[in-house]
Amino acid sequence: MAMFRTAALAAAIAIVPGAAALAWQPTKPIEFVVTSGPGGGTDNFARIVQSIIQKNKLVDQPIVVVNKGGGSGAEGYVHGKAGKGDPHKVIFGTNNAYLLPYVAKLAFKPADFTPVASMALDEFLIWVNGEAPYADAKAYIEAAKAKPGTLKMGGSQSKDTDQTLTAMIQEATGAKWIYVPFQGGGMAATQLAGAHIDSNTNNPNENVGQWKAGQVKPLCVFSPTRLAKSEPVHGGKGWGDIPTCKEAGLPLEAFQMPRTVWLPADVPADAVKFYEDVLEKVSQSDEWKEFIARTAQTGRFMKGKEFAEFVARDDAANRKVFEAEGWVVK
Amino acid sequence: MDNFASLMHGFSVALTFHHVALMMGGVLLGILVGVLPGLGAPNGVSLLLPLTFSMDPVSAIILLTSLYWGALFGGSTTSILFNIPGEPSSVATTFDGHPMAKQGRATEALSFAFLSAGIGALAGVLLITALSGWVAKFALRFSSPEFFAVYFITFASFIGLGGSSAFKSIVAMGVGFTLASIGMDTVSGNIRLTYDFDVLLGGVSFLIAVIGLFGIGELLLTMEDGLKFNGIAAKVRVSDVLRTAAKLPRYWLALLRSSIIGIWMGITPGGPTAASFMSYAMAKRSSRNPAKFGKGEPEGVIAPETADHAAGSAAMLPMLALGIPGSATAAVMMGGLMIWGLNPGPMLFTERPDFVWGLIASMYLGNVVAVVVVLATVPLFASILRIPFSIIGPLIVVICFIGAFTVAGKPFDIWLALAFGIVGYGFKKLDYPIAPMILAMVIGDKAEDAFRQSMIFSQGSLSIFWSNPLVTSLMAIGLALLLLHPLQLLWRNARRLTAARAARG
């Protein structure tokens, strides 16, 4: 009996250091808080991550996805903020995590969250109707300049990425559009396909269906480099054949939207590390690479200092536009 | 003919044992989800979505759409039995369905509802089969002014419908519009009417309103009436189902009209809820004895049910062909398409014919399976009414509150549902109609967005509403419906006056 007890004690001692090395592990189901409605870009992002984690068994605990898309995602962030100190709530969003509080009076601020990672950059393009006479971005901008304030630019929501980019293009080129805010990118895509608007700045994934059918065509992409080569989408052209807007002669370097992941404030550093590792594994999986290629995003995994620097740059660039347009709420 | 060959190919994909079993499972789950108010099809589909990650896309979409059909059917069940719409699109079914149940005709009402729903759904799928290419092109002609015109028709067809005064209808609609505008405003990007309460950021869900106004409000009224359901003595016989089925052909005109309204509203983005309301309004207007409506008229069940399901299935077409979800459930399914590696859009039909036509074939089969399954459950559901109120009443309260919570997982919604219950009770006591309020909540914000987008398009000129033949004819129909009722009243009054004068003279 005594010997057994000693043995047990020895075993326990042997286990303890091992347990410490394992660091933080989830102890209950993890909640993925999606700051968009079902079917939105952020929703797809979170659900793909969920499906890859499940398929490859990267986490022992089950994952539940909850959509809190009210108030352009503010609902999700407020919900995430309430989980202060709880590392079982993971918030999925875009740059709206730090940009929303500028344009709307909300009960959260960027400091309420612990940055984990940015998993991809979604790209923006200028799209026009497939039948439109414009051969390149320059021709379209000139046409817009010739008739200031008459051509229509569609986008999703107000004071969000699409309108910010439209404001940036206007500022850089001196052209002027009527900006029409729609409920989402899908609506902006079909409105362009039906020639009700003259252009939109949709993400690749929002317009790819219409491009395949030749109903819309891309003019240029707001990325520092061309998109990754792909299978031809329409008329022998693929994503890699689209010129960057800089190449096309627009004085605008880049405009990209990060797909971001956050934890609530005051969570243990181990927990942040745990999610960084899991998400990095996800970003290296074949399923993720396939998703990135299919949606023509740029797969760039950022964490820690790199992510923080990106956020600081993006925040400053957007704030400049918000201030110039008078969108900032006091 | 091309489409027909593709459809046959689709049947060969859908008619495997594995897929039919998935349909049965999906339909049964869907009925369960639909019967619980608040849980609803969108929630059911998103709960099931992770399960489909490892399935092939055809099986996955068959499972999810079957769940959707099941939920649509289940939603009608509670509307009829307890006056609690399981889905917002079955609100209109309560108007006559519940009075029928109270009169002891629950079996008849349920059978009518399910059979006509099945017919409506098949009409919707037939249209998709025959006209998919044309409809997809037609839908592209719709922009914000046309959307607004469609919503305008829906509202106009509702004017002067209820028994109560026009003033009370307008008040109810106004309350609905106000509630619909809470939360983020798409057009301006501002937050409205939240008074800094974070719980209101996401707006007030009409599902909560439906649960409170109908479910809890109805219970409060029942309690006042003496704690019992009427119609307990009703006998439930299987042969009643068959007898009802035999009566159905008599309502062919209502079925046809409602199918057309439903299909139209499914393709244009009116959606199932607006379709069912509009179809009910049209049925009442064109009926020879409109006074019977609201008191247990079978046509008042058939019309909304047919249109609801016709719209529900027709709405799948814009989702597949254009990538615009026609309903909340379709939005969740579109997210699914992305995860399974498909891009919804005009090319889906040519790129993945096996998927598209497999889905369309499964819509035929799934609806047939659903009708058979739900008809088999009619006697079971109808006998629930025999359970004493002291047992079923508290159960309904529990289900309502659970339902309110599951809509968005917010405890605040439970209180909101209770508040809506009290409002519903007050409305009934003061004879204010609830339906216009629900209608305004469901499509009020969409109508507002469409109107304001149109104003941005035209830079503030109303002439955009007669700028092309399509929008002009839509607006003309709306205005005609709007003016018809007051003119009818005037005409009747004038005739009465002259008749009275003639009698005196």
Same domain, A156 and A230: yes
- Give B148's contacts in chain A (Cβ within 8 Å): none
Contact B97, B303 (CB under 8 A): no
Q: Does pLDDT of B441 surpass 70?
A: yes
The pLDDT of residue A164 is 97
Test A39 with B42 for CB contact under 8 angstroms. Answer: no
Q: Does pLDDT of A150 surpass 90?
A: yes
The pLDDT of residue A113 is 97
Contact A113, A265 (CB under 8 A): yes
The pLDDT of residue B38 is 66
ipTM above 0.85, yes or no: yes
- pLDDT tens digits for range B459-483: 999 999 999 999 999 999 999 988 8
DSSP A201: -
- pLDDT tens digits for range A314-329: 999 999 999 999 999 8
The mean pLDDT of A245-249, rounded to a whole number, is 94
Distance from C-alpha of B235 to C-alpha of A329, rounded to nearest angstrom: 65
Domain count, chain B: 1
- Give A78's contacts in chain B (Cβ within 8 Å): 198, 201
Test A103 with B189 for CB contact under 8 angstroms. Answer: yes
Q: Does pLDDT of B325 surpass 80?
A: no
Of B334, B348, B449, Cβ closest to residue A183: B449
Q: Which contiguous run of DSSP H or E holds residue A116?
A: strand A113-123
The pLDDT of residue B236 is 63
Q: What SS3 class is residue B141?
A: coil
pTM (2 decimals)?
0.89
Distance from C-alpha of B394 to C-alpha of B426, rounded to nearest angstrom: 21
Q: Does pLDDT of B180 surpass 90?
A: yes
Domain count, chain A: 2
Q: Does pLDDT of A11 surpass 50?
A: no
Query: How far apart, in Å, are the Cα atoms of B126 and each of A181, B23, B112, B284, B308?
Result: 35, 19, 21, 27, 15
The pLDDT of residue B223 is 83
Same domain, A196 and A92: no
Highest mean pLDDT of the ranges A11-15, A114-118, B406-410: A114-118
Q: Does pLDDT of A257 surpass 90?
A: yes
Q: Does pLDDT of B331 surpass 80?
A: no
Lowest model confidence (mean pLDDT) among A56-60, A299-303, B25-29, B230-234:
B230-234
Place of tokens 């290419």: B133
Does the residue A17 lie in any domain?
no
The pLDDT of residue A12 is 46
Q: Of A222, A254, A286, which closes a domain? A: A254
Of B53, B191, B341, Cβ closest to residue A71: B191
The pLDDT of residue B473 is 94
Q: Of A254, A283, A299, which closes a domain? A: A254
- Give B449's contacts in chain A (Cβ within 8 Å): 183
Same domain, A140 and A234: yes
Same domain, A69 and A136: no
Q: Strands across the sheet with A302-303, in order?
A: A63-67, A30-34, A89-93, A256-264, A113-123, A302-303
Query: How far apart, in Å, are the Cα atoms of B5 and each of A173, B19, B57, B62?
Result: 53, 20, 21, 20
Test A180 with B453 for CB contact under 8 angstroms. Answer: yes
| Nearest C-alpha in B relative to A41 | B335
> By the CB < 8 Å criterion, does B203 face chain A?
yes
Q: Of A223, A254, A285, which closes a domain? A: A254
Phi, psi of A180, deg, nearest 5: -110, 115
Lowest model confidence (mean pLDDT) among B151-165, B212-226, B451-465:
B151-165
Total CB pairs under 8 A between chain A and B: 149
- Give B190's contacts in chain A (Cβ within 8 Å): 104, 158
Estimate to the nearest angstrom the gap between the alpha carbon of B163 and the chain centroid. Answer: 22
- Give B409's contacts in chain A (Cβ within 8 Å): 66
- pLDDT tens digits for range B279-305: 999 998 888 888 889 889 999 999 999
Neighbouring-strand partners of residue A237: A234
- Give A66's contacts in chain B (Cβ within 8 Å): 409
Q: Taking a contact as any Cβ pair under 8 Å apart, which residues of chain B between 429 and 468 contact chain A?
A: 449, 453, 456-457, 459
Highest mean pLDDT of the ranges A301-310, B19-28, B66-75, B201-210: A301-310
The mean pLDDT of B251-264, rounded to a whole number, is 94
The tokens of B426 are what?
A: 């007050």
pLDDT band at A19 (very low <50, low <70, confident <90, very high): very low
DSSP A46-74: HHHHHHHHHHTT--SS-EEEEE--TGGGH
Distance from C-alpha of A282 to C-alpha of A271, rounded to nearest angstrom: 17
Test B46 with A67 for CB contact under 8 angstroms. Answer: yes
Between B152 and B137, the higher pLDDT residue: B152
The mean pLDDT of B370-391, rounded to a whole number, is 83
The pLDDT of residue B164 is 63
Same domain, A134 and A249: yes
Relative orientation angle of helices B106-139 and B91-102, to the nearest 10 degrees? 170
The mean pLDDT of B429-440, rounded to a whole number, is 88
Same domain, A235 and A263: no
Same domain, A38 and A142: no
- Give B322's contacts in chain A (Cβ within 8 Å): 186, 190, 193
Q: How would you class A157 by CB atoms within 10 Å of its CB: exposed for 0-12, middle for 13-18, buried for 19 or more? A: buried
Same domain, A129 and A250: yes
Gap from B437 CA to chain A (nearest CA, Å):
22
The pLDDT of residue A15 is 45
As a dihedral over the C-alpha atoms of residue B368, residue B373, residue B378, residue B381, rounded to 10 degrees, the angle is -140
DSSP B161: -
The tokens of B264 are what?
A: 């139209």
Phi, psi of A302, deg, nearest 5: -125, 135
Distance from C-alpha of A18 to C-alpha of A8, rounded to nearest angstrom: 16
Same domain, A276 and A227: no
Q: Does pLDDT of A211 surpass 80?
A: yes
Within 13 A of B56's CA, how many CA atoms are on the CB side?
Answer: 11
- pLDDT tens digits for range B71-107: 888 888 888 988 888 777 888 999 999 999 888 888 8
- Give A107's contacts in chain B (Cβ within 8 Å): 196, 198
Test B343 with A209 for CB contact under 8 angstroms. Answer: yes
Looking at every residue in chain A, the average pLDDT score rounds to 91
- Give B411's contacts in chain A (Cβ within 8 Å): none
Test A157 with B343 for CB contact under 8 angstroms. Answer: no
> By the CB < 8 Å criterion, does B328 face chain A?
yes
Phi, psi of A201, deg, nearest 5: -115, 40
Q: Where are the beta strands (DSSP E) in A189-323?
A: 199-200, 216-221, 256-264, 302-303
Same domain, A142 and A247: yes
> By the CB < 8 Å criterion, does B191 face chain A?
yes
Q: Does pLDDT of A199 surpass 60?
A: yes
Of B184, B187, B351, Cβ closest to residue A71: B184
Closest CA to B62 of B502, B442, B358: B358
| Structural domain containing residue A309 | 28-121+258-325
Distance from C-alpha of A132 to C-alpha of A145, rounded to nearest angstrom: 16
| Structural domain containing residue B29 | 2-504
Estimate to the nearest angstrom the gap between the alpha carbon of B68 and the chain centroid. Answer: 13
Looking at every residue in chain B, the average pLDDT score rounds to 86
| Nearest C-alpha in A relative to B324 | A186
Q: Which contiguous run of DSSP H or E holds residue B475?
A: helix B469-504
